[in-house]
Structure 1
Amino acid sequence: MVKVWNIALRLLVLLFLAGNTLLLILMIISGATDHYPVNRFYWVQGNTTGIPNAGDETRWTFWGACLQDKDGSDTCTSDLAPAYPISPVDNFNTHINVPHQFISKRDAFYYLTRFSFCFFWIALAFVGVSFILYILTWCSKMLSDMVLILMSFGFVFNTAAVVLQTAASAMAKNAFHDDHRSAQLGASMMGMAWASVFLCIVEFILLVSWSIRAKLASTYSIDNSRYRTSSKWNPFHREKEQATDPILTATAPEEMQQSASVVGPSSNANPVTAATENQPKGINFFTIRKSHERPDDVSV
């Protein structure tokens, strides 16, 4: 039953890693094409009517701004670039009819979205490599700690990227609303982003618990093996320990000493004498040597 549970848990972690990797890939390819269903993935959509070089509606995706005409067609192949910010001032090279918050908070929009772009790529690298290495842990358990470390970095960068992008998108929507323009967040894109964060949290908890459980099981196995080895009494080994350890010699029960003297090679020797002879040379404070001299000459 325990083995079945371990296999089920490993399959669950593998499924979560695969799903997390897929979500990050879907977010990163948004804006790369204007075909369905990728054209449904965008961070924020706003009314840009009257802004020079902009269409009636503009959707900001991972790779840039996609222009949407009145007939509903998207154009996402022009002016696409990495780390494309949500900033109409920089996107359309104009200040005319641009909502005021995009001008006053230009640096905030610019750096929030550009940093989130970089963090998404770093998160995909860590999560993707963790997914590949986790498959290899079925053959070798030595990679488990490496997967946990990579997944920890992936979790941090993915969460940071989603938080930064969500803040920038919410600020952009409010900027359009303050200028009395319609705007909305991309439900599909935001759903995938926060779903990837949830999967990262679950994966991190499962990997940490799995690592702790494996270390505890390994420690218990080592301790149990040592206990079984020490519990098997060997009279020759016991005699050797008593011969080299003065404490064992002084405190060993009389029955153990007699058994060791019977089984050992010198079976005719007195057990007490044999134990005494095997002690290391030096002063023994537990033995008082008496002589036939006067009481004043008794030595210790």
Structure 2
Amino acid sequence: MLQVQNLTRTFGDKVAVDNVSFDVPSGQMTGFVGANGAGKTTTMRMIMGVLSATSGDVLLDGAPLTALARSTFGYMPEERGLYPKQPILDQLIYLGQLHRMSQSQARKGAMDLLERFGLGGRTKDKLESLSLGNQQRVQIAASLLHKPNVLILDEPFSGLDPVAVDSMVELLRERTSAGVPVLFSSHQLDLVDRLCDSMVVLQQGKVIASGTGDALRARAVNRHRITVSPDAGWVRDEPGIRVLDVAGPTAVLEFDDDDARQRLLATALTRGSVEEFAPIRPSLSEIYREVTAV
């Protein structure tokens, strides 16, 4: 498990990251979300040791994170760091060797990853000759090549087409199945909802929500959908509820308390048939929009 404890970073009088704490459990994907400037990249840089923390700690399995431990991490920075004029296979082999892989191991691992990303026929091409999306694929391959123990990925899906996204998702799931904790930031909330076991929401340098999908949903506004026959317009006159929407036989409601919910159901049963009465399970993207709403 990767643990971030009370990380703070200031730049002069500006507090960029303010007492941030969260866990990234082994074998799980954690989505790190927030608006531009919320402090996500600064936090990731402190985790990786690229930027020193003003205060706070990062732990791996309960022990303070060392440079040696960080060398086993896979890191994909926001600003890509590959060499534009070097052939892609050559530089992946070089980067693998920096992670103590043999040349043959690095070559085999790089070829496997490039094949999976559809770049097996372009191994001798210089990076600058590739499209931005394909350059992104090579950057991802560089972060995964040495089979890292932890993955820290800053906007890994940016610029990828749907096929490359699917390939990336498959690779990440392979790593989490092997027990690797994965932290990735993304503005693509549909992907966060699709992939993540948990989510950390940052706003103005502070964590404003965090937890598993189920825990966040449990804390979300309790909404229900009711479908009755013949029409649901009468719900507008019921006490203890807020009517968010009515469309013919279906209404979306919020209740002041459980008593109001039970009263409404009892009333509905006296007025006709009830075809549906169920809580609405919000997506993580809906939860994000709700907790960040000003």
TM-score tier by shorter-chain length is: under 0.3
Higher helix share: 1
Q: TM-score, normalised by structure 1?
A: 0.24
TM-score by length of 2: 0.24
Structure of higher CA gyration radius = 1
Q: Which of structures 1 and 2 has the larger relative contact order (alpha carbons within 8 angstroms, sep 6+)?
A: 2
